[in-house]
Amino acid sequence: MTEPRVAVIGIPGKWSTEVLADALEQRTGFRQVVDMADVSLDLTDNSLRCGALNLCELDGLAVKKISAEYNPNTLDRLEMLRTAEQQGVRVFSGAEKILRLVDRLSCTVTLRNAGVPMPDTVVTEDLQAAFDTVKRFGEAVFKPLFSTKARGMCVLGGEQSDAELRDAIAAFKADNPMLYIQRKIELSGRDLGMVFLGGQYQGTYARVSQSDTWNTTINSGGRYEAFEPDAELIELARRAQEPFGLDFTTVDVALTDNGPIVFEVSAFGGFRGALEGAGIDAAGLYADHILQQVRR
């Protein structure tokens, strides 16, 4: 029986991309990393080519990273993958499922519609409404609709004068026409990544701040450590990821004085946090899951 051929969509040379490609190669003997920047979609013959390779002739595509940074072009890359899906290629997670998560607002609306607790959030294009929101919140985090690892986010309010605040909001809006504003939450320097594979809970790691920055991301100097959640917290994270139907994901959860809240559900999930913080070989588990699905 011929082993399945599953390529990894990701960033060549990046650890999470390469470790997933390694895990698939160990199990099948086939290894291919694909950068979507090198892919061409030809709708004349419905081919999706990376060099001489037609991705539509593979058994599966594991999407570890669709672009180095999220932006509207990321959505176009996912749309291209739908051509492969139409021809029977399994995409993990499905292109339309990832599409609902790359845009922060789409993720937020889905979570709130499901009754998942989140930070107080206002979304507007109106500068006055944004100003009024910050005054009401005291301090607020402004987030681009397309970003990861807190890139492009900023905290406004606090000690700023009204004039300084208005100028800062206008400057943010220059690059972000839709203003996504969340009440700043006191995290005590830690938040959680709760890992799910095929909808099943795998484990939890904490991201712990090592500085006085407002976020805990590794990009800002944070580190990973183990964490054991209770059953209620696991159930909250399960409910948060359920509407998206992802093959692999991480639910970002914070513990506050008013109870746990969910920041977001990741389109791709975190391999390094799972390994270093919780001892979970996410790449190996994901590779097994993918191959089990492809072989059905």
Per residue in 280-292, pLDDT tens?
999 999 999 999 9
Where are the domains positioned within the chain?
6-101, 121-183, 186-286
Pair of tokens at residue 190: 């830690």
Q: Return the residue matching tokens 């809006």.
A: 173
Query: How would CATH label the architecture of 186-286?
Result: 2-Layer Sandwich (3.30)
pLDDT for the residue 273: 94
The fold for domain 121-183 equals: Dna Ligase; domain 1 (3.30.1490)
DSSP 3-state assignment of 126? Answer: coil
Local confidence pLDDT in tens for the 296 residues of the chain: 689 999 999 999 999 999 999 999 999 999 999 999 999 999 999 999 999 999 999 999 999 999 888 777 889 999 999 999 999 999 999 999 999 898 899 999 999 999 999 999 999 999 999 999 999 999 999 999 988 777 899 999 999 999 999 999 999 999 999 999 999 988 777 899 999 999 999 999 999 976 555 455 555 457 999 999 999 999 999 999 999 999 999 999 999 988 999 999 999 998 999 999 999 999 999 999 999 999 98
Ramachandran area for residue 46 (φ above 0: left; ψ -120 to 50: alpha; else beta): left
* Two domains, one topology: 6-101 and 121-183: no
Residue 190: predicted pLDDT: 86
Q: What class does CATH assign to 6-101? A: alpha beta
Q: What is the pLDDT of residue 71?
A: 78
Assessment of whether the complete model's pTM goes beyond 0.85: yes
pLDDT of the residue at 251:
97
Residue 190 to residues 48, 179, 214, 227, 283, Cα–Cα distance (Å)? 42, 26, 10, 11, 25
Task: Give the pLDDT score at 73.
Answer: 84
Beta strands, E only, the chain = 6-9, 33-34, 39-42, 47-50, 53-54, 60-63, 90-92, 121-124, 139-143, 154-157, 179-183, 190-197, 200-208, 223-226, 248-256, 259-265
Name 291's Cβ contacts closer than 8 Å, sequence gap at least 6. 4, 6, 24, 27, 28
Q: What is the largest CA-CA distance in the chain?
A: 70
Per-residue model confidence (pLDDT) at position 217: 56
Residue 213: its pLDDT value, please? 56
